[in-house]
Structure 1
Amino acid sequence: MVPSGCYESCRIFNISLQMTYKIGSAIIRFPLPGATMFPEEKLQCEVAIMRYISDQTSIPVPFIYHWGSKESCPLEFGPFIIMEYIEHDSSMYDLLNTLGCPDDARGRLNPDIDEDNLGALYRELASVLLELSKPSFSQIGFLGQIDDFTWEVTSRPPSGVNELIRVGSLPQSSLPSYETIFDSMSSYFEFLAELHIAHRKNQRNDAIESADDCRRKFVARHLFRKLAHERKLTERWEPFDKGSFKIWCDDFRPANVLVNDAKKIVGIMDLEFTYAAPIEFTYASP
C-alpha cells in the first residue's frame, strides 16, 4: 500500500510523519536525533505505557500497530512507532490560547474565553487526571509489558535526565543503571538530591551569573539533600512512603490533548516520559 500523501511535523523530542492511505491514516514516529539521549529506552517505555493506558483505563490514546528498534528499521533511521492517526478538530491548547498569539510565543490563556467553555475544558482535563490516579504500583520507575495482560515497573524513572544530559553537561555515568527502580518515595528523593548535586558539579561556567548566584545554587542543593536524608520532604506522606505509586506524566498539557468540534477529548499524545511516581505528584494541584 503506497501512501497518497504525507506531511512531517517536528516536535521537541520526535519526528512524526502522517501517512494517508485510501482506507485511512497512520503516524510513523522517530525519536529526534540529538534531542533524545536514550531513544531505544524512551520508545520501549512509551509503547508499554500507551498499551497499559489503552488496556486498563478509558483514556483515549493512539492504537499502536507496530514498533521496533533501529536495527529492525529498513534504513536504520532509528527506533520507531507506527500508530493510529486520531481524527480531531484541534488541540486543547488552541482552544485556550489567546487569539492571534504567534506560533513561536508561549501560550497565554485567552482573557475573553467563555467561562462555560473554560469550565468544560477543565473538566475534560480533570477526568483524565482522575483516571490516571486510579492504577497503583508498588515501585517507582518506567513500566514494562511482561505479557499481553501484565505490566510491571521494570526500569529507572526519567527524572528529567534527558535534558540534564542534553543541555546540562551531566555525564551519563552519574545515572543509575537501566534496571534501577525505587521501592520508596524517600529513597527516590534521596536519589534526586544526589542527581542535582552531580548536575551542579558538571555544569559549565556560564550556568551561573556571579559568585553569589553560584553560592545560592550550591547551598540550595545541599539543603535539599539534607531534607531528603532526614525525610523532611516526605513526612507528610509517610503512610505512602512504600506505595502505592501512581501514573504520572509531567508533559501532560493542553498541547498534547486532541479534541473534536464538540470540545471533547479524543486523544492524548506524547506519553514518553510517563512513569509510576510518588503519590504526592498526582495529589498536588495541577
Structure 2
Amino acid sequence: MRFIATNTSIPVPKIYFAGTADENPTGLGPFIIMEYVQHKCTMSEALKDLSLGPDEPHNSTPIFRMNNSYFSTGYRQMANILLQLSQFKFDQIGSLVQDKQGNFSASGRPLIQNMNPIIEFTDAPPQLLPSKPYSNSGDWYKAFADMHLLQYTFQHDDAVKENDGEQNVYDTYVGRQLFRNIAADGRLATGLGAQKGKAEYV
C-alpha cells in the first residue's frame, strides 16, 4: 500500500497498526487498524437496482437496469486503477518488499488469496506453500499447480461441496492434474518470462 500511495494517484488508507492473532487483545484474530477513506457509497450500493425492494435479490440485476450514473463512475474509477497498476514492472514474480532505503522490489514470496484457505481448511503444512520469488513464469505456474493439489492430498474426503457428485470430484481432480502436467511441460508459459533468466513482470 505504501508503494501504491507513493507511485500512483490511487487513494489508499494509511495503516496505523497491524498485528497477528496473538497480538490482538480482543482474541478475534489478525487485525489491521487503518485510516477511513472518504467515499459516497459502497460498490454494492452503487450496483443496486433502485426499482427493486429491499428484500428482493439484486445479484442477477441486468446492467441496463442498474443505477447508470454510479455504475459508469465506478467502472471508470476501476479502469483508472488497473491502468495505473499496469505501468509497473518487476524482474521477479513475488510480493513487494521495501528496504531500509525505501526502495521496493518483488523479493518476497508470492502471496495470493487462496493460500490462507488452503492452510485453514486442509491442515496442509505452511512449509508446502511457495516460499520464494520466481524468476520466470514457468516455475511459478508449476508451483501454483502443486499448491492447488494440496487440497486433494490433505483434505481428500472433503475436497468438494456436498451434492457435487462423484463425476464432478473426478473432473476437478483430473483438471488440476492436467494443469500441473501442462505447467511442468512449459506449455503455459510462452513469450516474455517463459524461460529462465531476467524478465519483466507486471
TM-score band, normalised by shorter chain = 0.7 to 0.9
1:74 shift after superposition: 8.5
Structure 1 Cα separation of the partners of residues 14 and 134 of structure 2? 30
Structure 2 Cα separation of the partners of residues 231 and 165 of structure 1? 27
Aligned residues: 192
Query: Which residue is equivalent to 1:271?
Result: none
1:176-226, CA deviations, whole angstroms, 9 ceiling, x for partnerless residues? 33xx11111111000011112222222241334444333322221221111
1:244 aligns with 2:200: yes
Structure 2 Cα separation of the partners of residues 192 and 205 of structure 1? 22
1:87 shift after superposition: 2.3
> Secondary structure of 1:153's partner?
strand
Q: 2:188 aligns with which of 208, 226, 233?
A: 233
Out of 190-199 and 200-209, give the one that drifted further: 200-209
Structure 2 Cα separation of the partners of residues 60 and 232 of structure 1? 38
Q: 2:120 aligns with which of 144, 166, 172?
A: 166
Structure 2 Cα separation of the partners of residues 120 and 68 of structure 1? 32
1:136 shift after superposition: 1.2
What are structure 1's unaligned runs of at least 5 residues?
1-49, 247-286
Q: 1:217 aligns with which of 172, 176, 191?
A: 172
With structure 1 as the length reference, what TM-score do the two structures score? 0.57
Q: Is the 8 A contact 2:97 2:104 kept in 1?
A: yes
Distance 1:89 1:158, change over 3 A: same
Q: Is the 8 A contact 2:148 2:176 kept in 1?
A: yes
Task: Tell me which amino acid in the other structure corresponds to 1:199.
Answer: Q
Structure 2 Cα separation of the partners of residues 79 and 112 of structure 1? 39
**5 Å matches for 1:1-286?**
50-64=1-15, 66-70=16-20, 75=25, 80-99=31-50, 100=52, 107-109=59-61, 111-115=64-68, 117-147=70-100, 149-159=102-112, 160-177=114-131, 180-208=132-160, 209-235=164-190, 238-241=191-194, 243-246=199-202
1:126 shift after superposition: 0.3
With structure 2 as the length reference, what TM-score do the two structures score? 0.78
Distance 1:125 1:70, change over 3 A: closer
Structure 2 Cα separation of the partners of residues 224 and 171 of structure 1? 22
1:82 shift after superposition: 3.6
> Secondary structure of 1:226's partner?
helix
1:16-61, CA deviations, whole angstroms, 9 ceiling, x for partnerless residues? xxxxxxxxxxxxxxxxxxxxxxxxxxxxxxxxxx111000111111
> Hey, which of these two has a bigger chunk of helix by percent?
2
Distance 1:173 1:81, change over 3 A: closer
Structure 2 Cα separation of the partners of residues 73 and 214 of structure 1? 40
> Secondary structure of 1:144's partner?
strand
Distance 1:51 1:106, change over 3 A: farther
What is the aligned-residue RMSD (CA, Å)?
A: 3.1
Q: Is the 8 A contact 1:165 1:171 kept in 2?
A: yes
Distance 1:59 1:191, change over 3 A: same
> Hey, which of these two has a bigger chunk of strand by percent?
1
